Amino acid sequence: MAAERKKILLRLDPGVHDALARWAADDLRSTNAQIEFLLRRALAEAGRLPSGVGKIRRPGRPAKETEHDGRADDNE
């Protein structure tokens, strides 16, 4: 079972939030996912990303699953 994701309240300058939101839209991510992506990258560059941290989901919509085998259907 996957660990529950932590929730935090983050206060940002409105200009910083707007810039993050635009950047996230350009990368097809939510603002929240963009912040997590940037934090993970900063942790990795500083050598502080724990080895047990799961992978971040790729940008964009999750692949649809087919009913017959539970795998993503590449024919759509």
- pLDDT at res. 66: 61
Average pLDDT, the chain: 84
The residue ranking higher by pLDDT, 74 or 60, is 60
Give which of 44, 41, 18 is closest to 31, Cα–Cα: 18
Query: Is the distance from CB of 42 to CB of 23 less than 8 angstroms?
Result: no
The amino acid present at 55, given as its one-letter code, is K
Q: What is the pLDDT of residues 26-60, one digit of tens each?
A: 999 999 999 999 999 999 999 999 998 888 777 66
Query: Is the distance from CB of 66 to CB of 72 less than 8 angstroms?
Result: yes
- pLDDT at res. 73: 53
